[in-house]
């Protein structure tokens, strides 16, 4: 094991960066979930079509792929 690799592994064990990064990511996900839960109307969340539409916002990749080229299509 080279000295550079050994020093990097030692740094990973002795810093709190990984734990803090994990806590920030979990906090960000919780914030987004809470914002969606409290900002959307109950009528939208209670119907099957409304739930599928909300899930589609997060999983739809077509608008993201087409946006840089300028050819975003709306349904």
- Amino acid 53: pLDDT: 75
Using CA atoms, how far residue 12 sits from 1, 5, 37, 41, in Å, is 16, 11, 36, 44
- Amino acid 23: pLDDT: 92
For the segment 28-74, what is each residue's pLDDT rounded down to a tens digit? 999 988 887 788 788 877 888 877 777 776 555 555 555 555 555 55
Q: Which of 75, 24, 33, 71 is CA-nearest to residue 55? A: 33
């Amino acid at each position: 094991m080279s000295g550079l690799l050994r020093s990097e592994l030692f740094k990973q064990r002795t810093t709190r960066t990984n734990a803090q990064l994990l806590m920030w990511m979990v906090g960000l996900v919780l914030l987004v979930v809470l914002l969606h839960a409290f900002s959307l109307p109950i009528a939208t969340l209670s119907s099957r079509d409304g739930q599928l539409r909300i899930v589609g916002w997060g999983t739809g990749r077509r608008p993201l792929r087409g946006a840089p080229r300028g050819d975003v299509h709306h349904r």
